[in-house]
Structure 1
Amino acid sequence: MREVDEFKDEIELLFEEASREMIELPDELREMGQALLARCHPLRSGGKAKSISFLLPYWLQEETGAPIELCRDLSIGSVYVMLQYFILDDVMDGGDDRIQSSGVRKSLALAQMLGVMSRRRYARYFDPNSSIWSYERQYVEQWSSAVTREVLESVNPWDARQLAGKAAPIKLGAAGVLLWAGQTEQRITEVEEAIDLALAVLQLSDDWADRIEDLHESNRNSFLTIVKDKLADVVGDQLDERSVNRAIYHRGALVQLAEIAEHYRERMHQIPQASTRLLTYQGTIVQDLRETAERIQRAVDELASHGGLSQLVLTMK
């Protein structure tokens, strides 16, 4: 929340302008679009938007000298991209049991309009021949590959590119600022790698938080990949809540997740001129994972010293 607090005035501006612009949506989509925007507002109760999804242009402003108007427009475009892919992910994850066919059609129609609104923001600064559109295609291809692989194979916690793939389209905001500033292709590649490493750590954290929900819904999850590996000699691929807890308390599954996050943090520090704000953002998440793992390990050690660990794991639901 540190980044959100620091940019709260700009965030209010972004979401207010996006809400006003959504008045232009077709009548059938206007209310749905504004409701989705409000639900994702990071300064509202329960807002689920991640700051990295739309603040990247601001985070790169200091080192590029980009004007605030550019940052605002690209960030509003990023808000639309974020909402567009929220919808697409929900539709793909939901299936017929959770979303009625009319809801799917309406959601996909809104997603298409959000894509148009995002590109309109970028078109204020980039002509049709700009390389920004090649970057857009590249990021959409990365997203397409990630969501396709997701249903075919387990999520590899050691594959940063795979972990970051579903969020790849948000990198367009960073590319836009860097292209405006005349940065080299090598510099853009470095920033892309740094963003991927930050997104990979964010995905690890989200997978830890969503482990039980993903377990029940049979969703792919990097933490559950670690759990399966830790328990391969006991349960194979058949996991339940008790076996997940066993992996956490007996096999150090969360400790390993935190170690992988630390590895990505070390890689970030090796990137020349990595953005200070990206380093801080990633480091905060890594620290939270490490502290959670250490807290659990202390609880395990104390319970073990009193002979209560086995009973705790057996009774956990």
Structure 2
Amino acid sequence: MDHAAFVGRIEEIDRLGYDGVWFNEFHFQTPPQPYPSLLLLAAAVLARTERVRIGTSVLVLPLHNPLLLAEQIAQLDWQSGGRIDIGLGRGTDPGTLVRLGVDPTSTRERFEGAFDTIKSVWLGTAKQQIADGEPLEIPVQPCVQVPHPPLYIAGYTEETLTFAGRHGLPLLLSLEPPETRQIEIYRDVVRAHGFPCRLAESSLTRYVVIGRSEAEAEAHLERLLPLLQKRRIYYAGRRGVAPQDVLPIDRALLLRDQLILGDPPSCFAQIVDLRRRMGIAALRCVFNGNGVLSPPISMEQMRLFSQEVLPLLRDI
């Protein structure tokens, strides 16, 4: 798909009534990824759409100069009319860290330090380090004066979830590992430290496989499963795991923890139940199997979902 077709697809998503689209940050991929810069992509998409929000899931803070990133986010927030959501993370891809000369043992410190710098820039209280090591407090302001966009934290370790709790930030909960364990750790952290609980403003992720009938949805799933397994084998291989050592997808666990499946009424009921059980109002829907399905197939399901399920969700 070329760039014009890709942006045209987001324009259709805008017209279909979806609230937002989330993009991931990956660098130095094989084959090359056409959009390694989330903010450049977001700027292009925001210029061509009217209402849909664009989210980053996530900006990997240890890879960026925090002062420049603070300015860039502030500019994008301003020129988009406040239509961006910023998910932040520490990042774990060792290949990217090596290519950029980032010590893997430093990512925690870099992540937390970059966050503090970005927030201090937006608040106008940033400190600049001078030669003798003494901090000099100076008014470092973003290039445009706007309130900062909504911020989210992605992560599953106790350290990252504690960081989110300490700063009162909602979470971007992932497909892998499923969010149940992440929420359990987060709730323990919140209780132990008396942090405000921001789960209600957090968001979950689910694969969505929808058909006009249950049988059609099941047929879609049967086509998707081997493609998901192939994707798992590919990414396991990048970690040095042999294909024969990658366990097959557990269909029951997939249905329980990662998937919305069925006809429109069934999908609606599953989402309502998920919201009731988890206490989280936002859902990031993955219609393309994380890139394994062709655009025509995923767009067909997105159109059906927008026609039959979104209106019901608006009413609850």
TM-score relative to the length of structure 2:
0.32
TM-score relative to the length of structure 1:
0.32
